[in-house]
Structure 1
Amino acid sequence: MAGSPGSNEVTFQLSNCRRSVPRTRALAHAVLGEWGVAQDVLDVAELLLSELVTNALRAHAPSNQQVGVRIARSTADGLLRLEVSDEAPGRPEVRTPSDDETGGRGLLLVEALAHRWGVEEREGGTGKTVWAELKAPDIIAEPAEREVAAAMVRPDQLVKVWGEWRAVVSARSEQRDGDDPAVLLSLDEGPALRVQATEPLTVRQREEDAGNV
């Protein structure tokens, strides 16, 4: 999992299996909780992501291909954006299933709960990205020092490990079969640190970066 500068977005890859849906909910809960998203918006976001990931997993994509997820925030606009990408052909369409059908209602939920949503072609013309936006006026800016899920740590930060501050050189997600998502942090000193994506870590900005904010 990776976060962009300013920690205004988080991206991660999911294996093409059913276990990816509850993992998505857990990671989204950690990220949105850190961003100060109100509980009612957080609940809706988790539901929408679950539906979008479920649809992507059901799409006719190669079984060895992963599903991409992006969660982004705009504190200026008070918006939360959820994106799920897959490599399957075609575009999803909202439909009304019959009473005896057990599925097919995912996009109906998205249309009903999202502020707006849509579908875009992926770069290169392979597959698509389905996105949904939610109004989230309670999204907060980041304090100088805070506790975040390991998935939120990024290379322009300092992380407190072994009782000392270490500069993060790189952060990348790891997904092993049967394991929960993890993050591998390369530090300026000492060994690399591998932790579960939802494990809390204390971080702060480097002093030279803080002066430019």
Structure 2
Amino acid sequence: MSTTRPQLPDDRPGQGGSGAPGGVSAPGGRQTRRLTLVGESGVVPMARDFARQALRAWGWLPAEGADRKAATEDVLLVVSELVTNACLHAEGPEELVLVTDGKTLRIEVADLGAGEPEPRRPHQAGRPGGHGMFIVQRLSVDWGVARAEGVPGKRVWAEVAAPA
């Protein structure tokens, strides 16, 4: 499922007290981590490492059990795909935001691109390239695009269920 909607003022995660560097904790157990990617090189491995550190801080790692391991790998793959898509189709990512409430983990990648990400249809598994958004769609509970009125760019987001 894909959803495009405007970004509301309270829609941005992280409106709360300070937490660890790059992170914010909000009331109700919601935790946010942000990584600025503007002007950086090697952003895909940097984003994966950042996500891995957040997962460790939030107790997803070390992954004990098949469900936790699968959820962790899904998050890292979705992060890689969203950041890679911003590199290939939107002049590079601006920011990676990870938000968890204990039930889901939301991954957001901000970029200045005007285009809409969409899984290639029909999906052809044997064809090289064009699998990124198909993978995101398959691994996510939901995904979409958020745009703020009057602000260039977008936030492509995906939500992955937390392991049981």
- TM-score under structure 1 length normalisation: 0.56
Correspondences of 1:41-120 after superposition (within 5 Å): 41-61=71-91, 66-75=93-102, 78-96=103-121, 101-120=127-146
Alignment of 1:34 onto 2:57: yes
1:109 maps to a residue whose letter is: I
Alpha-carbon distance in 2 for matches of 1:100, 1:44: 21
Unaligned runs of 5+ in 2: 1-20, 61-67
2:80 maps to a residue whose letter is: S
Check 1:3–1:17 CA distance in 2 against 1; reply closer, same or farther (3 A cut).
closer
Asked if the contact 1:53–1:67 (Cα under 8 Å) also holds between the matched residues in 2, the reply is no
Give, in angstroms, the shift of residue 40 of structure 1: 1.8
Which of 147, 155, 162 is matched with 1:121 structurally? 147
Asked if the contact 1:57–1:67 (Cα under 8 Å) also holds between the matched residues in 2, the reply is no
Give, in angstroms, the shift of residue 67 of structure 1: 2.0
Alpha-carbon distance in 2 for matches of 1:123, 1:16: 25
Asked if the contact 2:38–2:95 (Cα under 8 Å) also holds between the matched residues in 1, the reply is no
The structure whose residues are more often strand, as a share, is: 1
Q: How many equivalent residue pairs?
A: 133
Over residues 10-32 of structure 1, what are the superposed CA-to-partner deviations in whole Å (9 max), with x where a residue is unaligned? Answer: 01111456611011111111111
Give, in angstroms, the shift of residue 59 of structure 1: 1.8
Give, in angstroms, the shift of residue 34 of structure 1: 1.4
Larger Rg: 1
1:59 maps to a residue whose letter is: H
2:43 maps to a residue whose letter is: S
Give, in angstroms, the shift of residue 94 of structure 1: 1.4
The structure whose residues are more often helix, as a share, is: 2
